Structure 1
Amino acid sequence: MAEIKLANITKRWGSFVGVQSFDLTIEDKEFLVLLGPSGCGKTTTMRMIAGLEDPTEGEIHIGDRVVNDLDPKDRDVAMVFQSYGLYPNMDVYENIRFPLKVRKVEGDHDAMVRRAAEMVELTEFLHRKPAALSGGQRQRVALARAIVRQPQVFLMDEPLSNLDAKLRVSTRAQLKNLSHELQVTTIYVTHDQIEAMTLADRVVVMEKGIVQQVGTPTEIYDNPANTFVASFIGSPAMNLMEGQIEGGVFRCDHVEIGGLDTAHSGPAILGFRAEDAAVAPDGAGQITAPIYSLELLGDAVMVTVRTGGALVAVKADKDYRANIGDPVSFSVPASICHLFDQGSGERLAR
């Protein structure tokens, strides 16, 4: 069993706090994603689990052991880094086999290597050197090298960030399938919210060393805890507008949305997803403003207006046609709206 428990983990360097009071249990066989912008503490958290950094406070449990004082080699974790870390003088076969040799693993190394290579579709490349491989193939060698060890825990630090967009999509699908097949507890660090949404059983959203929200991708997408999470999750990000609520009606420049289920009055931030609203015919919507930009996405047209200093986007049908500067109206039902406190950014109780 490879349940991981982080008990009040804090990491400081002098007065700078890299991770603050991180408290979480990662279930056995769970695929957990640490998500956030650069400098949010996600990689530092992973490095503490791996034993590459020591926590200033708190305890790290892997299975039934407290591992704070264990060396990385004794924690039974395998890491896959952003840089592939392959040995250029060894072929793919020997790169994959290397952890077995170093750890003096007994058994049929050839069968272990070929099974790991088959899982990442590298069987036909086993006798090539890394220099003769593409970026995607090199990343798969790094994955196979981690798989062959059969560790308790996989730790993956932005493994897809060096790949181009097409390769990221195909390798992401491979990772999803591998996770299902291997059933090994995995912690995955990324700044890419699409990777988080597609791969994770649960997502931990972090900012400035502090956990902002923990939940399934659906929970975080549908019910963001604050404006940071709302603006970080989703492509495009959630539309957020500052205004005033009086009697269940939100108002700001070019905007009037009524029927909101809230007792709150005064300043507030209203948010909604681009795909949840629609272009309204004949100016009958709750937002009416000149078109700021139009972007053809293939399956839709993104129509953007400026309201009170904020850019607000709505997805229209792919055959929608208009010009920049034309008036447009958006239909924004109250039921799709999210409300946040204007001061703290926290979600308002409904």
Structure 2
Amino acid sequence: MAEIQLRNVNKRWGNFVGVDNFNLTIADKEFLVLLGPSGCGKTTTMRMIAGLEDITEGEIAIDGRVVNDLDPKDRDVAMVFQSYALYPNMNVYENIRFPLKVRGVDASTHDERVRRASAMVELDDFLHRKPAELSGGQRQRVALARAIVREPNVFLMDEPLSNLDAKLRVSTRAQIKNLSHELAVTTIYVTHDQIEAMTLADRVVVMEKGVVQQVGSPTEIYDRPANAFVASFIGNPAMNLIDGEITDGIFETRNTHISGLGHADGKVTLGFRAEDAALAPEGDGQITAPIYTLELLGDATMISVRIGQSLVAVKTDKSFRAEIGDPVSIHVPPDICHLFSTETGQRIEG
């Protein structure tokens, strides 16, 4: 069992706050993703769990035991880095085996454990090769196998796919998803890629500027973002956000008129997702504006219009044809709209 608890964890360098009052319990065998932009504190949080970074305040407990003062080697965690961190002079077999040698594991078990780990990530045909003879995807699989062979209590993965090209990212992501199911080990995964977070996680922690913004399942975070930052960070494309004013249940701003919103009068930020809106016959939509750009996605066409300072996207049929500058009408049902405080960014329930 490997339940991890972070209690009031803070990390500061002088006046700079890297992680601010982080509280979370990560369940045994859970796949948790720390998600946020560069510099938000997600990697620092992981490094504190690993013992590679000292905690300024707070406690981290693994299996009920506070590990603040334990060296990384004594925490029973295995880490997979963005940079692979392989030994260039060793072949794949020896790279995978290395953690077993360092930890003094019975040598008679090494071969079986190395081959079991390599089979899990489909490296059996490459065990004799040196890292320089491998592709980026193969090197990342060696790094994964080296973590697996340890049979640790906790896996820590720091942006393991960010050095791979788009096609390899998809296949390696599927492999990690399958591995996590097969190994059933508590996993903490750091990424700035919201698609990785949505596809891999049991729960997602969205962070910004060292502060946890929302914790929930991918579905919860997608369907009910806690604030405008989460709304703008999750989804591909991100949620459309338009600043305007509600009067008598009607949201208005330039080229936009959406009625049926039961909220007190005043300034708000209105949000909706591209796939929840649709093109309407000319003049029948709640938003009317010239096309700013079109993107053919294969299965659909993404159209964007400009409303004030905001680009607003709507997904439509792949057969749709038009030119930049052509006027379009967009139908936005009031029941798919999200409202956020323009002042604080927090979600307005209603």
* Distance in 2 separating the partners of 1:46 and 1:291: 43
Matched, 1:113 2:114: yes
Matched, 1:140 2:115: no
* Distance in 1 separating the partners of 2:207 and 2:315: 28
Match of 2:131 in 1: 130
* Distance in 1 separating the partners of 2:23 and 2:67: 16
Within 5 A, what are the aligned runs for 1:289-308? 289-308=289-308
Which amino acid in structure 2 is aligned with residue 317 of structure 1? D
Write the deviation string for residues 76-116 of structure 1: whole angstroms up to 9, x where unpaired.
00000000111111110000000001001125110100000
- For the aligned residue pairs, the C-alpha RMSD in angstroms reads 0.7
* Distance in 2 separating the partners of 1:64 and 1:172: 31
* SS of residue matched to 1:245: strand
Match of 1:311 in 2: 311
Within 5 A, what are the aligned runs for 1:106-255? 106=106, 107-255=108-256
* SS of residue matched to 1:68: coil
The structural deviation recorded for 1:23 is 0.2
Write the deviation string for residues 307-333 of structure 1: whole angstroms up to 9, x where unpaired.
122110101100001111111000100
* SS of residue matched to 1:340: strand
Write the deviation string for residues 44-79 of structure 1: whole angstroms up to 9, x where unpaired.
000000001111100000012100000000000000
* SS of residue matched to 2:174: helix
* Distance in 1 separating the partners of 2:281 and 2:183: 51
* Distance in 2 separating the partners of 1:274 and 1:9: 37
- After superposing the two structures, state which structure 1 stretch, 28-37 or 279-288, moved more: 279-288
Match of 2:338 in 1: 338
5+ long unaligned stretches in structure 1 = none
Which amino acid in structure 1 is aligned with residue 2 of structure 2? A
Match of 2:9 in 1: 9
* Distance in 2 separating the partners of 1:57 and 1:125: 45
* Distance in 1 separating the partners of 2:283 and 2:319: 19
TM-score, length-normalised on structure 2?
A: 0.99
Write the deviation string for residues 2-30 of structure 1: whole angstroms up to 9, x where unpaired.
00000000000111100000000000000
* Distance in 1 separating the partners of 2:323 and 2:90: 58
* SS of residue matched to 2:206: strand
* SS of residue matched to 2:82: coil
* Distance in 2 separating the partners of 1:167 and 1:152: 27
The structural deviation recorded for 1:282 is 2.8
Which amino acid in structure 1 is aligned with residue 39 of structure 2? G
* Distance in 1 separating the partners of 2:241 and 2:293: 17
* SS of residue matched to 1:275: helix
State the identity %: 77
* Distance in 1 separating the partners of 2:347 and 2:64: 37
* Distance in 2 separating the partners of 1:151 and 1:303: 47
* Distance in 2 separating the partners of 1:282 and 1:239: 21
* Distance in 2 separating the partners of 1:47 and 1:65: 18
The structural deviation recorded for 1:283 is 2.4
Write the deviation string for residues 178-200 of structure 1: whole angstroms up to 9, x where unpaired.
00000000000000000000000
Write the deviation string for residues 241-263 of structure 1: whole angstroms up to 9, x where unpaired.
0000111111000001111133x
* SS of residue matched to 2:274: coil
